[in-house]
Every structure is written in C-alpha cells, then in structure tokens.
Structure 1
Amino acid sequence: MKLLFSATPAFGHILPLVPLMQAAVGAGHAVGLLSSAGFRGEVGAELPPEVEFLDAGVMPGEFSEEAARRTGADVFRPTPSTIGEIFGGARVDLGIEDSIGRATDWAPDLIVAEPFDAVGPIVAARLGIGWHQAGIGPALPAVIAEEIGRAASARYARLGLRPVAAAGYLDPCPPQLQDPGWSTGTPVRAVRPEAHRRPKDVALDLPGFGEPDRPTVLVTLGTIFSDPDTLSATVAAVADAGVNVIATLGSSLRHPTASQASQEEAARAHSDRVRYVPFVPLAQLLEKADLVVGAGGVGTVVGTLAHGLPMVLWPQGADQPINAARAAASGASVTVDSAAGISSAVADVLKNDAYRGRAQDIAAEIARRPEPATVIAEITEGGERTESAERAESARQ
C-alpha cells in the first residue's frame, strides 16, 4: 500500500509522525511525505531514508504573512479565527494546486494528516481515497479545529469538492494530558508517542561538566521560539539553581550573532556548568537529563513525559500555554510566566519527588499504549481504494 503523510512544514508538526512513518516502512508500505519544498533540507535527515518527499506548498513564514495581511492579526499571538485562516485558509490557497498535482502523480491509497493540516484532507477528497487524522499531542481545542475546518470549507467549495470525514483519529496523547471534555465523532486509536530520534543517532561531542554529580537540566525552547535573548535568560536562570545545563540552540536561529554572544556570556558566568548543543533529536538529550526546562512545545512535552522526566515550562506562544497548563494539571510540571521564576521552580521540582513520580506514572501509561506498528497494521487492513479513486486513475490512464 502507498501511505501519504501530509503535514505543515515545521518540526513540531512532522516529527511526531515519524514513528508512524517508520512503522509503515517497516511493514513494507511505500511512504511519502507531502510538505513544502523549503523544508526538505531541514527535515530530510530526521525521516526514514525510504520516505519519498513530495514537494508542494510554501513555508510557514509565507502563509503566516499572508494570513496576517488578510486579518491584520499578530500570528504569534493568534486568536482561533486567525489560526483558522493561517492553516485552513492561506496555507491551502498558496499550495493546494501543487499538492493535488504531486499527490495525483504519486497515487496514494491512504492519507494520514496531522490536525493543523487542511491540505491532506482536501487531497483525499480530490483523489477519492480515505484518510486518518494523526494527533501530534493533546487534541486541538474544539474552537480551533472548527475554525480551521470553517476556513477550509470555502476551499472545498471552490474546488468543487465535498469534505470527507476522517476514518479515524490516531491519538498519541496520554489521558493525563488530554482535555477531559475532548471528544471526536471518529473512531479513536491510541498510539504510543516517542521522543524524536533519528534513524541513526547524532554524534554528540559534549564536554564533561566540572561537577558531574550535580543534577543535569535540559533547556530546549524548540525550533520556533529559540530567540537568543530568551534562551540566554532561561539558561542563566537555570544555572543559578546550581545545576549542570545542556541547552539546545534550535534548528536555525534568526540571530546567529546574538546566539554566539549568548553562548559566550553563559560560558563566562558558568564556564563549567553550561553546554550548548545544536539541533539534536530530543531522545538523545533526554537520556542525559534529570529535568527539562522548555517553552511547552508539544513534542517536548510528550517526549519528555514518555521518558518519565518532570518539567518547568515557560510558554512563549502558539499552543504552548495550553500544553503547559495540561502538563501542570497532570502534576508532572510547573509553569512560570517569566525568567525570574525559573530558578526557584527548578529547585522545587528537583527537590520534590512528587513531580518525578507523576512523570513516571505518565511514562508507564504511555508505554502501555499500542505501538505505531500495531496502529499502522490496523489502518491498512482492507484499505482498498474507493470507487471514485479507481475512476480517477482510469481517467488518467
């Protein structure tokens, strides 16, 4: 079978799908990823080498800028309607024709799309094939999902298509993080999430700490919100708690000069206790940590809990406040609203075993969820193409 994954071109949207891609490859399926050509170079090394990248659409900067132009809103502090326009409106408008063309040529049998991705479901409707939605963490709040759907509905009409409901929802979120009131009208299949790891581990040249017996704290603000000044303030606050610090720089900083200055400043202040690393798969870094300090990106939150580690979260934007609130409600994390609160929060979480205990409980719950290979086998059984797909293929021939 040919499985096409469709996702927004950003690490936080694609990396949670990688275990499913790997499982599909392992089961002998042909696997493709439909996303922007501009992201191929960034994400290529993170994917199984067998995955075929289908270039289509534009990068987040371009479709977010278009959404901002249309709405006059701040896309880094968006309302639900703005989120709807970003993902269900502007991104679709700027990439759907290319996406349909690339997918038509590749001729998938089934599509798997992440919740922010409105392109995959439209492609499925155009090709007459089924699709599943794969969560990347806690389910989208209903109001956001509705706004993305509302914006996308006008695009279906413009293309002369009728929306097709997802055949199922692949849910990687443990119940401790899920909104208690969340429900969906489609069948839900639990799937085990994993912190991201490359097919082959990255060589990590990390000098030892002067006092290796101190607790080690991983600082990661993700790949979008790794502003150098924010990162520098976070690292300094964590180091002030008397711990060793490993800090990630993200995939690419917008201000590399400031980034270098931040590193040099931290090295002067805490030369034997702070180590900066470039973008490294989270799973490798979690193996070295006792606690994670982050912004609340979904990949960081779910991956950290899968490893049974507690967190201190300082949300910066997007869905991070929601993720941080759910992590705090689970008892495995503390949320702060400024760098000033980080040092004391780190000390408290490291001292109070209850946070680690709750994180380990959640990790045990995650470990009991079905493996990606099991879920892939379930959704591909009896996955024949629909009659309309057969008609479309006959017409192309």
Structure 2
Amino acid sequence: MKLLFSATPAFGHILPLVPLMQAAVSAGHTVGLLSSAEFRAAVGEELPPEVEFLAAGVMPDVFSAEAGRRTGADVFRPTPSTIGEIFGGARLDLAAEDSITQATQWAPDLILAEPFDAVGPLVAAHLGTPWHQAGIGPSLPAVITDEIERAASARYEPLHLHPVTASSYIDPSPRQLQDPHWSPLTPVRTVRPQAHRRPKDITLDLPDFDERDKPTALVTLGTIFSDPDTLSAAVAAVADTGANVIATLGSSLRHPTANQTAPTDSTNVRYVPFIPLDQLLEKADLVVGAGGIGTITGSLTRGLPMVLWPQGADQPINAARAAASGASITVDSPPEISPAVTAVLTHHTYRHHAQHIAADIAELPPAATVIAEITNP
C-alpha cells in the first residue's frame, strides 16, 4: 500500500510523524512525504531513507508573511483567526495546485495529515482517497481547528470539492497532557510517542563536566524560537543554580552558512548543534525548554521533569497542559528560571509525576500497531 504523509514544512510538524513513517516502511508499505521543496535538505536525514519526498508549496516564512499581509496581524502572536488564515488560507493557496499535481502522479492509497496541515485533506478530497489525521501533540483547541477548517473550506468550492471527514484521529498524547474537555468528532487511535531519533544516530562528542556529580539540565528552545539572546538568558539562569548545562543551538546554527556565531562552552555549560533529542535526554536530569510539544513529550517518555518558558505559537497551551500534569513548572521570564529549576530538583514530586506519565506512555500501542490497523481496516 502507498501511504502519503502531508505536513507543514517544519521540524515540529514532521518529526512526530516519523515513527509512523518508519513503522509503515518496516511493514513493507511505500511511503511518501508531501511538503515544501525547500525543507527537503533540512529534514532529509531525519527520515527513513525509503521515504519519497514530494515537493510542493512554500516555507512557513513565506505563507505566514502572506497571511500577515492579508490580515494585518502579528503572525508571531497570532489570534485563532490569524492561525486559520496562516494554515487554512495562505498556505493552502500557495500549495494546493502543486500538491494535487504531485499527489495525483504518486497515487496514494491512504493519506495521513497532521492537524495544522490543510493540504492533505484537500488532496484526499480531490483524489477520493481516505485519510487519517495524525496528531503531533495534545489536541488543538476547537477555536483553532474551527478557524483552520473555516479558512480551508472556502478553498474547496472553486475546485468543486467537498471536505471529507478523517477516518480516525491518531493521538500521540499521553492522557495527562490531553485536554480533559476534548470531544473528538472521529474515532481515536492512541499511539506511543517517542523522542526524536534518527534512523542512524550521530556521534555525540561531549566533554565531561568538571563536577560530574552535579545534576545536568538540558536547555533547548527547539528549532523555531532559538533566538541567541533568549537562549543565553535561559542558559545563564540555569547555570546560576550550579547545575551542569547542555544547551542546544537549534536549527539556526545547524548549517555552515548560518550568520550567527555559536557561543563557547564554559566550566559547567556545553553547547551542542541540532542533535536528536533522544540522545540528549540520556544525559539529562531535567529539561528546560520553550514548550514545544516534541520537547515535552520526548522528556516525558524518559520520565524527566521540566521548567518551561513559552515563547510563542502553541507553546503556552502545551506548557499549561504539562504544568497541569504535575511534571512541570511554567515561568514567564529568565529571573523565574533559577528558582523553578531548584524547585524541580529539590521537590521530587515533579519527577514522580513525570515518571508516572512515562509508565503510562510505555503502555500505549506502538506505531506498528496503528499502521497495521489503518492499512487493514
């Protein structure tokens, strides 16, 4: 069977889908990914080598800028209606034609699209192909999904298409992170999430800390909000507690052509480039992050407590759910980070909650089970 994944061209939208892609490849299916051509090089080594890349559409900076031009809104602090225009309006307008062409030629038997992706459902409607929505974290608030669907539905009529409901929702979120008021409109299949890992791990050459008996904090702001000044403030606040720090530079410093200069290590701080989260979590006692769902879920698979400083997008929602689970503290500024880190290291209740969630995650069905279910209905 041919399974086509459709996703926004960003690490946080594609990496959570990789376990499903790998499971599909391992089961002998042909797998494709429909996303922007400009993201192919960046994400290529994160995917199973068997995955075929179908290039269509533009990058987030382009379709977000177009949405901002249309609405006059700040796309970095968007309202639900702005989010709807970004993903259900501008992105769809700039990707629909190429996506339909690519998908028609590839001829999938089944389509899987992440919740922010309005391209996959439109392609499914055009081809008459069944599709499933594959979650990348806790369910989005209805006020956001409604706006994305409202904007996208306006693009169906000119194409003489009608929106088609997903056959199921594949939920990778542990119950402790899920909105207790969520009322899904389609059948739900739970799946075990995992921290980002590559088909082939890279060698992590990390010098030992001078005081190896101290706790180690992983500081990561993800791949979008990895502003150098913000990262420096977070690292300094954590280092002030006396903990050892491993800090990720995000994707902005990943390539040799990047303009920024990487910060240098110090006695208790080690900076690392873009490395699979799973490898870094092996060395951490707690995680300090911005609230990206990949970081939160990955940390919880390892039973690690967190301190979260949201920067934008869906991070405040994710951080609120993590705090409600008892495994995390949310802060609003760098001065709040140091006492929060101390509290997490001192009061073991946060680690206890994180470990309890990790045990629940381990009981969820693996990706292979879900792929078997949707390909053999």
How does the TM-score come out when normalised to structure 2? 0.98
Partner of 2:68: 68
AA in 1 matched with 2:42: E
How far apart are residue 202 of structure 1 and its match?
Answer: 1.1
AA in 2 matched with 1:192: R
Distance 1:242 1:73 in 2: 42
Label 1:186 to 1:357 Cα distance change in 2 as closer, same or farther (>3 A).
Answer: same
Report the count of equivalent residues.
Answer: 375
AA in 2 matched with 1:66: E
Which runs of structure 1 show a deviation greater than 6 angstroms over 4 or more consecutive aligned residues?
A: none
Partner of 1:306: 301
AA in 2 matched with 1:176: Q
Q: 1:336 aligns with which of 331, 334, 358?
A: 331
Q: 1:290 aligns with which of 285, 294, 301?
A: 285
How far apart are residue 282 of structure 1 and its match?
Answer: 0.4
Label 1:247 to 1:177 Cα distance change in 2 as closer, same or farther (>3 A).
Answer: same
Matches within 5 A, 1:34-53: 34-53=34-53
Deviations 1:65-124 (A, max 9, x none): 000000001111000000000000000000110000000000000000000000000000
Distance 2:234 2:370 in 1: 39
AA in 2 matched with 1:345: A
Partner of 2:374: 379
Residue segments in structure 2 that go unaligned for 5+ positions in a row: none
Q: Is the 8 A contact 2:37 2:56 kept in 1?
A: yes
Q: What's the C-alpha RMSD, in Å, of the aligned pairs? A: 1.1
Partner of 1:123: 123
Partner of 2:95: 95
Q: Is the 8 A contact 2:16 2:294 kept in 1?
A: yes
Q: Give identity over the alignment, percent.
A: 76
How far apart are residue 159 of structure 1 and its match?
Answer: 1.0
Q: Is the 8 A contact 2:253 2:273 kept in 1?
A: no
Distance 1:158 1:331 in 2: 48
Does the residue aligned with 1:95 lie in a helix, a strand or coil? helix
Deviations 1:237-269 (A, max 9, x none): 000010000000001249955543xx24xx4xx
Deviations 1:168-213 (A, max 9, x none): 0000011100110001110000000000100011111111100111
Does the residue aligned with 1:4 lie in a helix, a strand or coil? strand
Q: 2:362 aligns with which of 359, 367, 385?
A: 367
Partner of 1:238: 238
AA in 2 matched with 1:348: A
Partner of 2:228: 228
AA in 1 matched with 2:308: L
Distance 1:258 1:127 in 2: 44
AA in 2 matched with 1:370: P
Q: Is the 8 A contact 1:227 1:253 kept in 2?
A: no
Q: Is the 8 A contact 1:228 1:259 kept in 2?
A: no
Residue segments in structure 1 that go unaligned for 5+ positions in a row: 383-397
Q: Is the 8 A contact 2:253 2:260 kept in 1?
A: no
Distance 2:77 2:261 in 1: 24
Matches within 5 A, 1:312-327: 312-327=307-322
* Aligned: 1:212 with 2:207: no
Partner of 2:347: 352
Q: Is the 8 A contact 1:226 1:253 kept in 2?
A: no
Distance 1:239 1:258 in 2: 22
* Aligned: 1:85 with 2:61: no
Q: Is the 8 A contact 1:228 1:253 kept in 2?
A: no
Does the residue aligned with 1:54 lie in a helix, a strand or coil? strand
